[in-house]
Chains A and B, each alone.
Chain A
């Protein structure tokens, strides 16, 4: 569970959040929707303690790990797909075997037998996004923060992704910032911004 306790945050003179208190429970996919500039991405970052509020506090148990898929969270262009996967898994204390890697690729629809040793700089936007999902699935996080996750994906990619998060949601807190109809439809709960 993630708890917002009287959280306020402003950028310069613009008050984005004022005295927000709420609880986000696990086992569900929670959509965060709202117009551009309403603070969807910022809400996700607050929830993951990636940024601090000006006042108030965001709380979740210290042993909960976070994973994020967001446009500004880039992966390494001059490493190959497999090197990226292995690196991020290693940071979270996991050593991926060759089978693990192929299986992860399968789950997100990325053929790592062919593209595994290709540097990411040669990947299309959609392939990068699939690789980011593979990293997300590999790191065993308890809290997933997904910012417009399927914006660059084709229908097959979306379908794979929806399946993957539906299957994973039961022991996780999943926040999904989006205005996309199809993405909202798979969510169990909706938070509409601004509050």
Chain B
């Protein structure tokens, strides 16, 4: 219990520290937002206001989220490794506290990313969403898994000497069990068709497996 509470305090301290640095050094965050905006704009411009099938639109939304997230979270550990602070952090904080501190930070930045890009996306493609609750739940659950797998993947790629494009290559196959059901649920939320609860449950189940696995595997790093 004591161990748990001291880890919890470390998680909070790391989270607060990352926020402080994130606010002062806005480049990473700005790049992620601009990436999402650029991708959305280029897709919308190229379809020129023509009607886009909800199925296709749902896939586009997740593609935008995936690649913008990749741009934003690939450097989760790299920034500290480059600055030379990662060894210090690893010395003073528990490994699990570092992982979860970073994971929560990544999750919250992905939430911020979605809050920014989702309205723009829906307005530019003129998509009347029928079931907002389903859309939000799907995105919320999807982002949890993306943050869990993304944080571990970012830790793996930190030691790579060749980084260009490595992060999304590694992240994509691992997060497919999230994307496939999330895309069909998003499509349903656009059209208000009946949806299958088991898909939502499956994303949640995969989320918890990713969190558990990240936690176990990170100790071997």
Enumerate chain A interface residues (CB-CB to B < 8 A): 48, 50, 66-68, 72-79, 83, 87-88, 90-93, 139
Please determine whether A73 and B88 come into contact, CB atoms closer than 8 angstroms.
Answer: yes
Whole-angstrom distance between the Cβ of A52 and the nearest chain B Cβ: 12
The answer on a CB contact under 8 Å between A78 and B25 is yes
B residues sitting closer than 8 Å to A (CB atoms) are 6, 9-10, 13-14, 17, 20-21, 24-25, 83-85, 87-88, 91-93, 97
Contact call A79/B91, Cβ cutoff below 8 A? no
A72-B84, A74-B85, A93-B9 known; A139 vs B17 contact (CB < 8 Å): no
Residue numbers in B under 8 Å from A66 (CB-CB): 91
Task: Specify the main secondary structure of chain A where it touches its partner.
Answer: loop
Q: Which residue of A lies closest to B5 (CB)?
A: A93
A91 and B83 within 8 A (CB): no
Contact sample, A vs B, 15 pairs, CB 8 Å cutoff: A48-B91, A67-B91, A67-B92, A68-B88, A72-B84, A72-B87, A74-B83, A74-B84, A75-B88, A76-B21, A77-B83, A78-B24, A88-B88, A92-B92, A93-B9
Given A90-B10, A91-B10, A139-B92, 7 further pairs, Cβ under 8 A: A68-B91, A74-B87, A78-B21, A79-B20, A87-B13, A87-B17, A91-B97
- Chain A residues within 8 Å of B17, by CB: 76, 79, 83, 87
A74–B79 CA distance with the chains assembled, in angstroms: 12
B24 / chain A contacts, CB cutoff of 8 Å:
78
Taking the closest CB of chain B, its distance from the CB of A129, in whole angstroms, is 14
| A74 → B minimal CB distance (Å) | 3
CA–CA, A91 and B84, complex, Å: 18
Looking across the interface, which residue of chain A has its beta carbon closest to that of B86? A74
Interface pairs A-B: 3 shortest CB-CB: A74-B84, A90-B13, A91-B92
CA of A7 to CA of B85 in the docked complex: distance in angstroms? Answer: 28
Whole-angstrom CA separation of A12 from B97 in the bound complex: 32
Q: Shortest CB–CB separation between residue B16 and chain A, in angstroms?
A: 8
Closest residue on chain B to residue A73 by CB atoms: B88
Kindly state the separation between the CA atoms of A66 and B88 in the bound complex, as whole angstroms: 11
List chain B residues, Cβ under 8 A from A139: 92
Known contacts being A79-B20, A83-B20, is A74 close to B13, with CB within 8 Å? Answer: no
CB–CB B13/A73 < 8 A: no
A78 and B79 alpha carbons, distance in the complex (Å): 12
Asked whether, in the complex, the Cβ of B91 is within 8 Å of the Cβ of A73, the reply is yes
CA distance A93 to B93 in the complex (A): 10
Given contacts A88-B92, A93-B9, contact A73 B87 (CB under 8 A): yes
Q: Which of B10, B13, B84, B88 has the most CB of A within 10 A?
A: B88
| Bound form: Cα–Cα A83–B92 in Å | 15
* Chain A residues within 8 Å of B20, by CB: 79, 83
* Cα-based distance from A79 to B85 in the complex (angstroms): 12
Note all chain A residues with C-beta closer than 8 A to B21.
Answer: 76, 78-79
Nearest CB on B from A42, distance (A)? 14
Chain A residue numbers with a CB within 8 Å of B14 are 91
Contacts of B13 in A (CB 8 A): 87, 90-91
Using CB atoms, name the residue of chain A closest to B12. A90
A90 contacts which of B9, B25, B83, B88 (Cβ < 8 Å)? B9
**Which residue of A48, A67, A72, A78 has the most chain B CB atoms within 10 A of its CB atom?**
A78
Q: B63 → chain A, closest Cβ, in Å?
A: 33
B residues less than 8 Å from A77 (CB atoms)? 83
Q: What chain B residues lie within 8 Å of A92 (beta carbons)?
A: 92
Q: Which residue of B is nearest A86, CB measured?
A: B13
